Amino acid sequence: MGDEIGQNTAFYYNIGTGKVEREGESKAKDLLGPFATADEAANALEIIRQREERLNAEDREWRDR
């Protein structure tokens, strides 16, 4: 993601280092994202956990119909 003047504006969580990075700093295989803000990227693992919980609940509900 870049802004109108070509600067990288996306943030990623590096699973190897546990740090937030700007787009293009590390190899994609080590990154979760993109996220719009550094705070979102810092909470990447929790955000993903919550998404998985929600999706699993939706799957259970669908199966139980």
Instruction: Answer yes or no: is 36 within a domain.
Output: yes
Range of the domain at 48: 11-63
CB proximity list for 8: less than 8 A, separation 6 or greater: 1, 2, 22, 23, 24
Instruction: Answer yes or no: is 29 within a domain.
Output: yes
- In which band, very low, low, confident or very high, does the pLDDT at 53 lie, cut at 50, 70 and 90? very high
Q: What is the pLDDT of residues 8-36, one digit of tens each?
A: 689 999 999 999 999 889 999 999 999 99
Provide the whole-model pTM: 0.75
Write out the DSSP string of 1-65. -B-TTS-B--EEEETTT--EEETTSS-GGGEEEEESSHHHHHTHHHHHHHHHHHHHHHHHHHHT-
Q: How many domains does the chain have?
A: 1
